[in-house]
Structure 1
Amino acid sequence: MTSQSVTPASAPASAEPKVNWTILLLGFAGMVIGQFMAILDIQIVASSLPQIQAGVGASADEISWIQTAYLIPEVVMIPLSGYLSRLWGTQKVFLLSCSGFILMSVAVGLSGSVEQMIFFRAVQGFVGGAMIPTVFAVAFTAFPPAQRVTASVIMGLIVTLAPTIGPTLGGHLTEQMSWRWLFFINVPPGMLVLFLVSRYANFDKGDPSLSKGFDWFGLVLMATFLMSLQFVLEEGAKNDWFADDEILLLSVVTLVTGPLFIWRTLTYYNPIVELRAFANRNFFVGVVMTFTVGLALFGGTFLLPLFLGRVRGYSAAEVGTTMVVSGLAMFATGPFAGRLVRLVDPRVLMFGGFMMCAWGMWDAHAVTDQWGFWEFAGVQALRGVGVMIAMIASQQVTMSTLPPHMVKNASGLVNLFRNVGGAVGLALLNTSLTTNTALHMSELTQNIQNTNAGMQGMLAAMQERFADSVDPAGAAMKAINGMLLKQATTLAFGDAFAMLAIGCAFAAFVTLLAKPVKQQPGAPPVASDAH
């Protein structure tokens, strides 16, 4: 702020407009809280699915749709929100999105059947999706260039912290109250968001002329393509991919509608999504980085709770407590990363961040069935710090060289690719776990067939232990089979962690393709960042 006092009096016309920081920060804070809720709700149910399943009487296949139903419609709204923001204005879109999100949160919490729950979760994901990318657009349009790094740090914290602490918060809420409070908890912060955004977030005006020639055909193509893609990625692994007729059909639909949507977007005069931003080299590299951040962020958040529940038998609260290390590491790194971005080439930070993430994931490839809080603490700390540094740096590389009129659409694309990266990561990890568990189980059982003294001794000891049962030999074999399955599952998790590590290391080298990012004009010295 003090830098404004040294601006020459003769240059008022060229000076930046004076910013009312109270209004800007209160409006931005409201939007950030809304964004946090929308991202949090993706993962908040992760550690509480068994309790929800029991509560609504769902089958194992049906309960997975509590997450899938949220993600599939959300992936359509994220890119569409850029167009709606230009048409109606950011404030109106955000208020409509938040209002619908709150209503649907209550509806999901009151659901009496799994069918109701899946329907309301789908609507919740669709309407809430607009709260995610609009915050990115505001950070790069409403904030002066000198303060955009600070806004990026705040967004980076939200985007990385929300899915990380989701299972933690969800586990404790379910254990202390009930699973319905996973959704009711959105109401108080949602009301605060509506107040702050309606009062302080009037950052821009809409352009009603955009409604003329709205591309309905393009919208249908985009929705069909993205929803089919998301469904295939979410459900493919559990349905044995192309062996399932539905997955095969939707894969064909994806392959047909994807190119058609790109063609329509590039040729129509008023496209829903502006793909020309990809002609900007830094934007293209940044989107690849964002895709990888999504893969590492959601992949790591998916693997760890699954391992702790499936192998260690942890409760929802115990899973949440173990997961908190990653969130704390990210929270502590955010301000530090913001200062680093001003001092160091963002490409170097992206490279270092992804390599740290790769290091942490590679350490976890040696996981055993005895690993718990302390063994995973170092892994989570490295992953948390690395993802945070890489995300904040990639935001600067991605958005800094785009012209202002492209920012709203570009922010939708960035968020879309992070979500799709997460979906691709989960699909690959699910497939890897299923395939490698069977592979390791086969290897272990083959070794047993070469009957050795140790195995015979273990079998005899087990038969003695189950001597009182109807079939001691059968019970002993069942127990040994359970032990082998646990070992095979643990080895498969190690393979999955290694796969994530290789992906992060590959992304680290892709960062070197970006062009140097010039400091934004008017950026103050680093020492003044305290403001």
Structure 2
Amino acid sequence: MSATATAGQVPSKAPAAAETMDPKRLIAFFAMVLGMFMSILDIQVVSASLSEIQAGLSAGSDEIAWVQTAYLIAEVIMIPLSGTLARIVSTRYLFAFSAAGFTIASALCATATNIEQMIVYRALQGFIGGGMIPSVFAAAFTIFPPSKRNIVSPIIGLIATLAPTIGPTVGGYLSHAFSWHWLFLINIVPGIIVTIVTWNFIDFDKPEMSLLKKFDWWGLASMAIFLGALEYVLEEGNANDWFNDEYILIGAVASVVAALVFFYRAFTVEFPVVDLKAFANRNFALGSTFSFVMGIGLYGLTYIYPVYLGRIRGYDSLMIGETMFVSGLAMFFTAPLAGMLASKIDLRAMMTIGFVSFASGTWIMTGLTADWDFYELFIPQILRGVGLMLCMVPINNIALGTLPPAKIRGASGLFNLTRNLGGAVGLAIINTVLTNRQDVHYMRLREHIDWGNPTAVEQMTNMAANYTAHGLDGATVAVKQMVGLVQKQAMILSFSDVFLMLTVLFLAMVLGVLMINKPSSAAGGAGGGH
């Protein structure tokens, strides 16, 4: 099994050195973790503050969403490419230049004076920052011996899930306390530190510049169009009525054609831009599937909670951030527990507990009403945070821990891509379900509110009398108020539908856990001091 190769290769050369980590490498690794945290945080840090950015740049409501979309499209192209780039130029050059470029792009975002500049700078920020994410996963599974991975895996799992979860909190606080410019300025000092430390301390591998001659430029172009167009279609589809929109249709066709070219070249050229052979490893393929589903849960709920709190409860960005911080705290305190459990119990059992915990949180949310606030959301958010951490650690170990070291760099890019694509697909489905189900619920509720319904008539009469007493056209205002109430209730019912859908999805993942190869082989490469 490849697991024995992984577990055996690293320590066989220097058994003593394997257990005592080189402090220089530890410093480099933690600097890389900080870089990854900044890059993932910036996906969501603007989400709670888009209205402030829109006002500051005098942007239209249809343009402001591109502050988020441009970043996601650019990042999703770079993430799978980073493994190949790391092989060519080495992890040191790739990471240090990515950190420096990300820092410069962040400064440019803060100086943007119009929406066009902001979109270009955000795309640069996302593309360059995307190079930092997979490198951390690859480093964790190549420079650390198997006995240390139960310490390292919770760290990268925590960062990968905590950063997007607390993004709205951090963003809401910064734009509230200072201005939207600080959403980007906070990256400057950490970015400089990460650049200097990684440049001086990373020594995991050497460049293979000879590979540049074999680089598949057609593969890169087709991958960029395939993933970029796919991300665009998923992000913008619901708002633009999907394939009824000309640009969405063109994007979908371009994505399909480019995908065919990309997959053809990936399996036929000597040095493909992304090595897809890692999917031949059953545990990696299953781990990537779980990562895709985790992306749906992670990014889906990070999106839907603020939408509910903003539209139904009328919370501002700071209040939304404070409410959602509960999940972040739950993840933070669960991380060490997850690391400890990973070496004590069957990884499949641990994942099952995590999926059930997440599903329990979304199941409670199916009872959502217009009155739910911090205290009603408290338990569901804790279950969500605990569930995410208990799933992420074994998923990371199962997916990457059984691969030979030579394949991990390329595979970590694919693995991280599945999480981001899961988020994109999840958001597209959630938005579509919210829109369609809200229409369905509105029509059903409207059928019950007619002049034959005495309760509805009584409420309308009372509302009309109240407004008439204040010198207004009571009947007209009462009808508008009633329509508003029905729309609000229809929206809440559509939220419940989404939470029910997520509950079923995560419970279904429990069945997927049964297909994983026995973790006795996974744990050897994945993290088991056993």
TM-score, structure 2 normalization = 0.95
- Between the aligned partners of 1:12 and 1:258, the Cα distance in structure 2 is 41
Please list, as runs of the form range in 1=range in 2, the aligned pairs for 1:127-276 lying within 5 A after superposition. Answer: 127-276=128-277
Matched, 1:520 2:524: yes
Please list, as runs of the form range in 1=range in 2, the aligned pairs for 1:34-113 lying within 5 A after superposition. Answer: 34-113=35-114
How many angstroms does 1:260 deviate by?
A: 2.0
Q: Tell me, yes or no, if the aligned pair for 1:299 and 1:500 is still in contact at 8 Å.
A: no
When residues 263 and 26 of structure 1 are mapped into structure 2, their CA distance, relative to the original with a 3 A threshold, is same
> Which stretch shows the higher mean deviation, 412-421 or 396-405?
396-405
How many angstroms does 1:13 deviate by?
A: 5.9
Please list, as runs of the form range in 1=range in 2, the aligned pairs for 1:109-508 lying within 5 A after superposition. Answer: 109-449=110-450, 451-467=452-468, 468-469=470-471, 471-508=473-510
When residues 69 and 13 of structure 1 are mapped into structure 2, their CA distance, relative to the original with a 3 A threshold, is closer
- Between the aligned partners of 1:330 and 1:321, the Cα distance in structure 2 is 15
Q: Which amino acid aligns with 2:481?
A: A
When residues 244 and 469 of structure 1 are mapped into structure 2, their CA distance, relative to the original with a 3 A threshold, is farther
Q: Which amino acid aligns with 2:112?
A: S
User: Could you report, residue by residue, the CA deviation over 1:127-184 in whole angstroms, capped at 9, with x for unpaired residues?
Assistant: 1100111000000111112112211110001001000110011111111001111011
SS in 2 for 1:178: coil
How many angstroms does 1:479 deviate by?
A: 1.1
- Between the aligned partners of 2:474 and 2:526, the Cα distance in structure 1 is 79
User: Could you report, residue by residue, the CA deviation over 1:459-495 in whole angstroms, capped at 9, with x for unpaired residues?
Assistant: 1121122224553211111111111111111111111
- Between the aligned partners of 2:13 and 2:292, the Cα distance in structure 1 is 41
Q: Which amino acid aligns with 2:502?
A: L
- Between the aligned partners of 1:382 and 1:453, the Cα distance in structure 2 is 42
- Between the aligned partners of 2:223 and 2:326, the Cα distance in structure 1 is 38
How many angstroms does 1:331 deviate by?
A: 0.6
Q: Tell me, yes or no, if the aligned pair for 1:351 and 1:512 is still in contact at 8 Å.
A: no
- Between the aligned partners of 1:505 and 1:57, the Cα distance in structure 2 is 45
Q: Which amino acid aligns with 1:324?
A: F
- Between the aligned partners of 2:310 and 2:392, the Cα distance in structure 1 is 29
- Between the aligned partners of 1:184 and 1:412, the Cα distance in structure 2 is 27
> Which stretch shows the higher mean deviation, 266-275 or 49-58?
49-58
- Between the aligned partners of 1:350 and 1:70, the Cα distance in structure 2 is 31
How many angstroms does 1:520 deviate by?
A: 2.4
> Which stretch shows the higher mean deviation, 288-297 or 249-258?
249-258
Please list, as runs of the form range in 1=range in 2, the aligned pairs for 1:25-40 lying within 5 A after superposition. Answer: 25-40=26-41
Gaps of at least 5 residues in structure 1 are: 1-10, 527-531
Q: Tell me, yes or no, if the aligned pair for 1:78 and 1:130 is still in contact at 8 Å.
A: yes
Q: Which amino acid aligns with 1:300?
A: L
SS in 1 for 2:240: coil
> Which stretch shows the higher mean deviation, 418-427 or 396-405?
396-405
Q: Tell me, yes or no, if the aligned pair for 2:362 and 2:499 is still in contact at 8 Å.
A: yes
Q: How many residues align?
A: 516
- Between the aligned partners of 2:509 and 2:244, the Cα distance in structure 1 is 31
User: Could you report, residue by residue, the CA deviation over 1:319-366 in whole angstroms, capped at 9, with x for unpaired residues?
Assistant: 001001100110111110111111111122112211111111111011
TM-score, structure 1 normalization = 0.95
Q: Which amino acid aligns with 1:294?
A: G
When residues 154 and 240 of structure 1 are mapped into structure 2, their CA distance, relative to the original with a 3 A threshold, is same
Q: Which amino acid aligns with 1:41?
A: D
- Between the aligned partners of 2:158 and 2:13, the Cα distance in structure 1 is 36
Gaps of at least 5 residues in structure 2 are: 1-10
SS in 2 for 1:195: helix
Percent identical: 45
User: Could you report, residue by residue, the CA deviation over 1:507-529 in whole angstroms, capped at 9, with x for unpaired residues?
Assistant: 22112111012242798857xxx
Q: Tell me, yes or no, if the aligned pair for 1:27 and 1:200 is still in contact at 8 Å.
A: yes
- Between the aligned partners of 2:525 and 2:274, the Cα distance in structure 1 is 28
How many angstroms does 1:66 deviate by?
A: 0.9
Q: Which amino acid aligns with 2:326?
A: V
- Between the aligned partners of 1:245 and 1:348, the Cα distance in structure 2 is 47
> Which stretch shows the higher mean deviation, 132-141 or 514-523?
514-523
Q: Which residue of 2 aligns with 1:15?
A: 15
How many angstroms does 1:451 deviate by?
A: 2.5
When residues 357 and 165 of structure 1 are mapped into structure 2, their CA distance, relative to the original with a 3 A threshold, is same
RMSD of aligned Cα (Å): 1.6
- Between the aligned partners of 2:528 and 2:334, the Cα distance in structure 1 is 22
When residues 75 and 477 of structure 1 are mapped into structure 2, their CA distance, relative to the original with a 3 A threshold, is same
> Which stretch shows the higher mean deviation, 459-468 or 373-382?
459-468
